[in-house]
Amino acid sequence: METGDTAPAFTLDDETGNPRSLDELLEAGPVVLFFYPQAMTAGCTAEACHFRDLAADFKAVGATPVGISHDSVDRQAAFAQKHSFGYPLLSDPEGKVAEAFDVRRRLGIVGTKRKTFVIGQDRKILGAFKSELNMNAHADKALELLQGA
């Protein structure tokens, strides 16, 4: 999945166990869907907290950050509660959505690559960013794209 592609429709449970579809999330405006390898790890915590810290900026451009990983609903709930994210964390335990977005790893213990997609209300991907090491790059680049759009 890259810029210009149509994001696949999906429904996954959020950190509260409620099913959330991409189409439903897009009703409020663009979605910044960020895939991360594992909740509660140092890098993923830094990335997710940076999205949280920019919440007002994302709100100002009408966008909603949404995190997604292979973690269970319970682990996502603990992660969200510990850091007060204020945005949905989706559980993709079988990696089906990660596979559809081509961010599933074939080897290793970490099942998901770190990649962010800015998705317009028509499900078109407006931008895609990847960096395994710069945890702030995902939110910063997504916000920059949305502010310039």
44 is catalytic: yes
Report phi then psi at 34, rounded to 5: -115, 125
Which residue out of 44, 54, 98, 135 is catalytically annotated?
44
Distances (CA, A) of 20 to 107, 110, 122, 130, 137: 28, 24, 17, 24, 26
- The structure tokens listed for 107 are 């080897």
**28: its two tokens:** 């409020």
Q: How far is CA 121 from CA 74, 96, 126, in A?
A: 29, 22, 10
SS3 content of the chain, % helix, strand, coil (to 5): 35, 25, 40
The answer to whether the beta carbons of residues 37 and 4 sit under 8 Å apart is: no
Give catalytic residues, as residue numbers: 44
